[in-house]
Amino acid sequence: MDLGTTSLRALVVDPGGAVLGQASAPYPTAQPHTGWTEQKPDDWWQACRSALSDLRARKLLAQVRAIGLTGQMHGSVFLDRRLSVLRPAILWNDQRTAAEAAEIEERVGGRRLLTLTGNRALTGFTAPKVLWLRHHEPAHFRRLRHLLLPKDYLRLRLTGELATDVADASGTLFFDVRARGWSSEVMRLLDLDEGLLPTALESLAVSGRVTASVAADLGLPKGTPVVAGAGDQAAGAVGAGAVSPGVVMVSIGTSGVVFTAAERPAVERGGRLHAFCHAVPGLWHVMGVTLSAGGSFAWLASTLGESEERLSQMARSSTAGAGGLIFLPYLSGERTPHADPLARGAFVGLTASHGPGDLARAVMEGVVFSLRDCLELVRALRLPIREVRLIGGGARSPLWRQIVADVFGLPILGLEAEEGAAYGAALLAGVGAGLWRDVPEACRAAVRTAGRVEPQTQASRLYDDLYGRYRDLYPKLKGSFAALHDLAASVPPARAP
């Protein structure tokens, strides 16, 4: 099961790797203030029940041998001593915690934080959210006894166990990625009780079993093992077969990701890449993130009143470079490489001759330029790049695939059956249940590449030039972004007529 940003997806996979069925259910996101994003954990559970009810009606649950969990990372589920939810969960793309992120770097020290956790203190991570609760909702903080990541709330409801996995835990800033365990030092320096944290397990470990009451309610076999699973990016990498150094996974979903496995914790000196534990025991990974990738395209479609499919067709009417139009995809701030929650989206070079197709193509290209920012940092770490595999909604678009190949200057491989993080979670469940010996064996049995796209020489040259101009824009606009943020914060919201 994949607890995504907008919906839960349940996938049933057989021991041969074939997908037997799937179901999904949505849930709402609240934005009570600019830059805030929240969801109710009970909405996740109801979506889980709805999706499994659908699968049960199709007689796909009775033979389930194991469950793997994955989902959105970094979110915070605050529980009291009775395991009741204290307030809505604060999500990965919430930007309210700039002051708390700065506080963490001051308390722990920037270099020490990188050494211990492999990461800088960014607004999206879990630790700043806990400090925000302490500062802004002290009554809730006093009642706080347990902290969970989003997918692990489903584990609690399924099994009654408080647990997580090392890959997802790596994105909290409470985790020592080298030791693959919670950092007592970070918790002490932040004056937090280590008892808040759940047990952290390797992704293949059985974390608990479905309780009798839940089994009866959902139609699952009683005692079905639930493996630890992984955060969505590590699980997506398993589903894409990116489980050895040299295989780079690029994902274009709501957010965008460049991900590659490493045999050691590879920490970028400026902390511009994330260094996390992989879902594969004994491996780590580095990851760069574009916060608004497919999200930028969805925003444009909604703004123009077009479907995303129609907008993709319109983008094909434009040409490489979108007629000299550049888009900065910072609609939700940015993470890699700028780590700037105040960054804002921008079209630069707009003229009266540009139409919707040019806007659409510029958005696609701007997103891929942002992903190239991530790739260049991977190259700087001298990690091997043998092949690039593209997943996510963008992988289903021939134009997205070609733009990625041209901007990267590398061949791009698709997958024969691209099922994303849910598929990776299912493979982890299969390994945990003994269906395969290890994760590489599961990937060899189930993951197949397809649809190689070669870069076009002329377009790649054009994009190399345009990418340099793209990189020049953020430093020039950074001061304006901050000023516009302050201006927006000072203007009271408009009242409905």
Comparing C-alpha atoms, which of 462, 460, 471, 454 is closest to residue 321?
462
C-alpha to C-alpha distance for 434 and 115, rounded to whole angstroms: 35
Phi and psi of 68, rounded to 5°?
-110, 140
Contacts of 180 (CB under 8 A, 6+ apart): 166, 200, 202, 277
Phi and psi of 406, rounded to 5°?
-70, -40
E-assigned strand segments in 42-153 = 70-71, 77-79, 89-90, 146-148
Active-site residues: which are they?
232
Contacts of 362 (CB under 8 A, 6+ apart): 318, 322, 325, 326, 327, 347
Give the CA distances from residue 319 to residues 24, 37, 459, in Å, rounded to whole numbers and listed in that order.
36, 35, 10
C-alpha to C-alpha distance for 446 and 75, rounded to whole angstroms: 30
* The dihedral sign for the CA sequence 31, 32, 37, 42: negative
235: tokens are 């699980």
DSSP per position, 263-283:
SS----TTS-SEEEE-SSTT-
Helices (H), 409-456: 420-432, 439-446
Comparing C-alpha atoms, which of 29, 21, 297 is closest to residue 10?
21
C-alpha to C-alpha distance for 472 and 490, rounded to whole angstroms: 29
**Residue labelled with tokens 């500062």:** 135
CB 396 within 8 A of CB 412: no
C-alpha to C-alpha distance for 194 and 183, rounded to whole angstroms: 9
